[in-house]
C-alpha cells in the first residue's frame, strides 16, 4: 500500500531545494504523492475488528509493552486479506464519542506514502479503536537499539531522517502539525522496509491525556512549562531522533549538547558506523540536531527546511530499503512447503492427504476439554457427530462430512480449529468456495498463528478468482509455517 512514489523521492514534492532529489511544487505532483490506492476512512464494527484480530488475541499484540500498555495495539486481517494495526484505547480514554470520531476523521483524511495511514475507527459503547495500515518490519527502536543481525547502516539512518521530515512536512501542510510523543517507537517499516510515521501519534492517547509519556529528559522544555504541544515541540522531538540515529542510543539532549559544545563528536557517534560517512556529513547531521534542540522554540527550523537540508545528504538514493536493511523483498518469490505448493496448485486431493495425516495435533487442549465433559448426553452426541464427520472425511464423502461437522459446530460445546479446517476443505471439494473461506477465517479466529488456516484461505480465494488476495494469504501461511518449524 502506498502512493507509488520512489522511496527517496521528496514525497510531498514541496521542497524548494533544487538538489538532485527535489521536485517542483505543483498540484500534479501533490496528487501523485497522496496514497490514492488506499480505501477512504470508514467506521468499523467491533465485531469486524474482533474477527480481524482473532478476538483481540494475545498472540496478535504488537504494542511495545504488550498487555500492560495503556492502549494496546494488535495486528489483524480484514476479510479482504488486508493486514491492519488496531489500537484499542483504555476504556476511560475518550468518553465523548463524537469528539473521538471527529478527531479520528480529521486524521483519517490524510493519505501519504510517508505515513502508516489511518483507515478507520470504531466507537461502539465505551470501546474506542483506531485502524491503520499494518507495517510488518518492526519499529525504528527495534532496528536501532535492539538489532539482532546487523546495525542500521548510515545511508538508511539518513533515509529515516528524510522520510520522517517529509511526513511532518506533509502533515503540517494539511493542518496537522501537532504530533504527540514523537520517538523511535512511532517510526515503523513497511513491506519494502521503507520508514513511515505512525498515524497514531497524530491523536492524543486520550481526550485529556498527556502528550508526552517519555522520560522528562527528552521532553521539550516549553512543554514542561506550559503542558501544551506546539509545532516547535515536534521539531525538538525530531532533534532527539536525529541524536538516536547518530548515536544508536537514546541519549538525553542535555548530555548530547554538552558533547557537541566540547566538540567530542566521537563519543556521540555510533561506533558501528565507522568508515560509513564523511566528517562533513556527520557534522551536518549534528548541526541539524543542535538547531532542532534550541531552547527557544522560535529558533528551531521548520519541517520544510529540514527536508531541504536532508535531501543532499542522501548518498545511496538508488539502493532499495530492503537491501539497506537486510529485509527480504516482499515482491520476491518465496519457497513453499508441500502443503503451500498444493494450495497454490489448488490440488485438493494432496491437501486432503496432508490434513488427514495431521489429524488433530494442532488442537491444543481440545481433547482434554472433551474428556472432562464426557458425562453429558449432549457431549456424547457431539463426539459422535465429530467421529462420523472424521470417518466421512477419511472416506472422501465430503457432503456427509459437511453435515456431520456442522452438527458438531452448531452444538457449540467444543471449539476446534481442525474441524473448521476439515469442513473448509469439504466445502471446497463440493464447490462451495465462499463457505470454505468463511470456515478458514473462523479457524484462524480460534487459532491466530495456525498456518493451515491461512493456507486454506488462500485456496478458497484462488477458487473465488481473488488471485492477489490469495497470494497474500499464501505468503502469510508460508511465514507462519516457517516460524512454527523454526520454533519446534
pLDDT band at 63 (very low <50, low <70, confident <90, very high): confident
Question: CA 458 to CA 416: how far, in whole Å?
Answer: 20
Main-chain phi, psi angles of 21, to 5 degrees: -110, 5
pLDDT tens digit sequence for 70-80: 789 999 999 88
Q: Which residues pair with 87 in a beta bridge?
A: 73, 130
Q: Which residues pair with 76 in a beta bridge?
A: 84
Residues 35-39: what's their mean pLDDT?
A: 74
- Report in angstroms the alpha-carbon separations of 392 from 42, 411, 420, 467: 44, 19, 15, 31
- Please tell me the predicted confidence (pLDDT) of residue 151: 92
Stronger pLDDT, 453 or 12, i.e. the higher one: 453
3-state secondary structure the chain: CCCCCCCCCCCCCCCCCCCCCCCCCCHHHHHHHCCCCCCCCEECCHHHHHHHCCCCCHHHECCCCHHHCCCEEEEEECCCCCEEEEEECCCCCCCCHHHHHHHHHHHHCCCCCCEECEEEEECCCCCCEEEEECCCCCEHHHHHHCCCCCCCCHHHHHHHHHHHHHHHHHHHHCCCCCCCCCCCCCEEECCCCCEEEEHHHHCCCCCCCCCCCCCHHHCCHHHHHHCCCCHHHHHHHHHHHHHHHHHCCCCCHHHHHHHHHCCCHHHHCCHHHCCCCCHHHHHHHHHHHHHHCCCCHHHCCCHHHHHHHHHHHCCCCCCCHHHHHCCCCCCCCCCCCHHHHHHHCCCHHHHHHHHHHHCCCCCCCHHHHHHHCCCCHHHHHHHHHHHHHHHHHHCCCHHHHHHHHHHHHHHCCCCCHHHHHHHHHHHHHCCCHHHHHHHHHHHHHHCCCCHHHHHHHHHHHHHCCCHHHHHHHHHHHHHHHHHHHHHC
- What does pTM read for this prediction? 0.81
pLDDT band at 12 (very low <50, low <70, confident <90, very high): very low
- Please tell me the predicted confidence (pLDDT) of residue 5: 46
Residues 152-175: what's their mean pLDDT?
A: 97
* Sequence-ordered list of residues with C-beta below 8 angstroms from that of 83, at least 6 positions apart, any chain: 75, 76, 77, 133, 134, 136, 472
pLDDT tens digit sequence for 373-398: 444 555 667 788 899 999 999 999 99
Catalytic site residues?
Answer: 181
* 23 CB-side CA count, 13 A: 19
pLDDT tens digit sequence for 206-243: 776 667 766 778 889 998 888 888 999 999 999 999 99
Exposure letters 19-28 (e unless 16+ CB within 10 A, then b): eebbbeeeee
pLDDT band at 487 (very low <50, low <70, confident <90, very high): confident
54 contacts 444 by C-beta, under 8 angstroms: yes
pLDDT band at 65 (very low <50, low <70, confident <90, very high): low
pLDDT tens digit sequence for 83-115: 999 999 988 888 889 999 999 999 999 999 999
pLDDT band at 365 (very low <50, low <70, confident <90, very high): low
Least trusted range by pLDDT, from 21-25, 143-147, 457-461: 21-25
Residues 295-307: what's their mean pLDDT?
A: 96
- Please tell me the predicted confidence (pLDDT) of residue 66: 59
Question: CA 364 to CA 259: how far, in whole Å?
Answer: 56
- Please tell me the predicted confidence (pLDDT) of residue 196: 98
Q: Over the chain, what is the mean pLDDT? A: 86
Evaluate if residue 1 carries a pLDDT over 50.
no
- Please tell me the predicted confidence (pLDDT) of residue 376: 55
pLDDT tens digit sequence for 22-31: 333 344 344 4
Evaluate if residue 488 carries a pLDDT over 80.
no
Pairing, β 42-43 against β 118-122: parallel
Amino acid at each position: 500500500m502506498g502512493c507509488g512514489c520512489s522511496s527517496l523521492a521528496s514525497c510531498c514534492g514541496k521542497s524548494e531545494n533544487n538538489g538532485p532529489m527535489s521536485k517542483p511544487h505543483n498540484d500534479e505532483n501533490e496528487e501523485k504523492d497522496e496514497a490514492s490506492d488506499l480505501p477512504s476512512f470508514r467506521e468499523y464494527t467491533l465485531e469486524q475488528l474482533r474477527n480481524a484480530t482473532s478476538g483481540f488475541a494475545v498472540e496478535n499484540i504488537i504494542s511495545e509493552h504488550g498487555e500492560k500498555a495503556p492502549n494496546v495495539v494488535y495486528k489483524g486481517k480484514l476479510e479482504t486479506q488486508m493486514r491492519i494495526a488496531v489500537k484499542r484505547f483504555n476504556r476511560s480514554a475518550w468518553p465523548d464519542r463524537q469528539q473521538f470520531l471527529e478527531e479520528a476523521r480529521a486524521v483519517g483524511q490524510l493519505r501519504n506514502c510517508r505515513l502508516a495511514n489511518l483507515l478507520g475507527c470504531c466507537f461502539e459503547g465505551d470501546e474506542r479503536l483506531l485502524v491503520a495500515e499494518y507495517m510488518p518490519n518492526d519499529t525504528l527502536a527495534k532496528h536501532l537499539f535492539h538489532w539482532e543481525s546487523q546495525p542500521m547502516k548510515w545511508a538508511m539512518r539518513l533515509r529515516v531522517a528524510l522520510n520522517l521530515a517529509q511526513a511532518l512536512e506533509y502533515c503540517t501542510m494539511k493542518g496537522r502539525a501537532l504530533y504527540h510523543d514523537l520517538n523511535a517507537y512511532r517510526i515503523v517499516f513497511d513491506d519494502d522496509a521503507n520508514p513511515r510515521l505512525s498515524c497514531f501519534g497524530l491523536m492524543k492517547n486520550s481526550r485529556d491525556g498527556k502528550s508526552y509519556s517519555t522520560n522528562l529528559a527528552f521532553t521539550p522544555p516549553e512543554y514542561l512549562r506550559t503542558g501544551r504541544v506546539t509545532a516547535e515541540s515536534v521539531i525538538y522531538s525530531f532533534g532527539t531522533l536525529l541524536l538516536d540515529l547518530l548515536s544508536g542510543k537514546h541519549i538525553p539532549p542535555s548530555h548530547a549538547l554538552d558533547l557537541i559544545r566540547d566538540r567530542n563528536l566521537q563519543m556521540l557517534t555510533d561506533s558501528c558506523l565507522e568508515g560509513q560517512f564523511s566528517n562533513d556529513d556527520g557534522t551536518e547531521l549534528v548541526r541539524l540536531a543542535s538547531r532542532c534542540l534550541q531552547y527557544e522554540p522560535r529558533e528551531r527550523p521548520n519541517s520544510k527546511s529540514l527536508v531541504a537540508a536532508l535531501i543532499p545528504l542522501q548518498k545511496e538514493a538508488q539502493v532499495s530499503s530492503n537491501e539497506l536493511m537486510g529485509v527480504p523483498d516482499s515482491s520476491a518469490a518465496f519457497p513453499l512447503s508441500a502443503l503451500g505448493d498444493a494450495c497454490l496448485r489448488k490440488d485438493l486431493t494432496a491437501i486432503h492427504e496432508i490434513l488427514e495425516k495431521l489429524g488433530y495435533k494442532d488442537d491444543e487442549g481440545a481433547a482434554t476439554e472433551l474428556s472432562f465433559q464426557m458425562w453429558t448426553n449432549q457431549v456424547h452426541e457431539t463426539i459422535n457427530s465429530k467421529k462420523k464427520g472424521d470417518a466421512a472425511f477419511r472416506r472422501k464423502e465430503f457432503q456427509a462430512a459437511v453435515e456431520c461437522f456442522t452438527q458438531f459446530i452448531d452444538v457449540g460445546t467444543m471449539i476446534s480449529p481442525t474441524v473448521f479446517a476439515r469442513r473448509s476443505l469439504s466445502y471446497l471439494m463440493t464447490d462451495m468456495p465462499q463457505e470454505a473461506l468463511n470456515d478458514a477465517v473462523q479457524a484462524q479466529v480460534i487459532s491466530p498463528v495456525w498456518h493451515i488456516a491461512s493456507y486454506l484461505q488462500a485456496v478458497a480465494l484462488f477458487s473465488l478468482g481473488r488471485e492477489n488476495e490469495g497470494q497474500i494469504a499464501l505468503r502469510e501461511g508460508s511465514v507462519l509455517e516457517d516460524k512454527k518449524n523454526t520454533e519446534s
